[in-house]
Amino acid sequence: MANWYKQLPNWLTFLRLALIPVFVVLLVDPTRTGLNWAAIIFVFAAITDYADGWFARRYKAITDFGKLFDPLADKILVMAALVMLVGLRDESCQSFVPAWMVVLILARELWITGLRAFAARDGFVVAAKAGGKVKSFLQMASILLLLLNDYSFHLLGARWTCQFVGLNLLVISLAFSYVSAVDYSLAILAPHKGSLADLTKRLGSNMLGESEEGAASPEIDKSKSEEKEPPFQP
């Protein structure tokens, strides 16, 4: 147990997984107090997500287990929260989250989970990328705000509801999630092509080269035609 702190990131991951059933039970038939407790548990689970990554980097305790199960625990937490939020209704009987958004998010998460399993079969572990981390942060922030949906705050001279801000953050996270999904897919299915940023950069360079070549070609043709034109003789 001398190096117990190197196992701490994995323990935090297991703790996050253990909190998910408690979180779900609080959302089965929630009161305002129940939603507040669910929000507290969700924030605590999100903090463990940050803490296990920090401890893993701080004590050089990054393992293949952590690379695989840390994002998996995040996905289960987020998917459980979104599915439960679809079933909740506000005062106007509207769902806290539109079902179509949850379907798109779940489809993306299942696709990435399948890709990770496919890569792990060949001993290839894909760590979380920057785009995926931004997506996770936006999703967790939006879920927290949606849990506090009937609260509001004043900012920039306007009154904002947590429901409105949470839904818009979820839409932004949806865009990030599909961009990062393309990046993950390229990294696993076509690693020789590089990341999405590399592919976009090469495509832009090719298009720029073609446009420059097209712009230069008429000048070459014009110079050739001028050389071949006979001199004017009165």
Residue whose pair of structure tokens reads 């909740």 in the numeric block: 88
27 class by beta-carbon count within 10 Å (0-12 exposed, 13-18 middle, 19+ buried): buried
Q: How confident is the model at residue 111, as a pLDDT? A: 87
Tens digits of pLDDT across the chain (234 residues):
456 666 777 788 888 888 899 999 988 877 888 888 999 999 998 888 788 777 777 767 666 666 667 777 888 888 899 999 888 776 666 778 888 999 999 898 888 878 877 777 766 666 666 666 788 888 889 999 998 887 777 777 778 888 888 899 999 999 888 888 888 788 777 766 555 555 555 555 555 555 555 555 444 444 444 454 555 444
pLDDT of residue 196: 54
For the chain, the distance separating the N- and C-terminal CA atoms, rounded to the nearest angstrom, is 104
- 158 CB burial (10 A radius; 0-12, 13-18, 19+): exposed
CA 20/CA 77 separation, integer angstroms: 6
**What is the CA angle 64-68-74, rounded to 5?**
140
Return d(Cα 32, Cα 167) in angstroms, integer: 19
**Cα 101 to Cα 181: distance, rounded to the nearest angstrom:** 16
pLDDT at 220: 45
pTM, full prediction: 0.71
Query: CA 139, CA 82: separation in Å to the nearest integer?
Result: 9
Q: What is the pLDDT of residue 103?
A: 93
Residues 147 and 41: beta-carbon distance below 8 Å: no
Residue 213: what pLDDT? 54
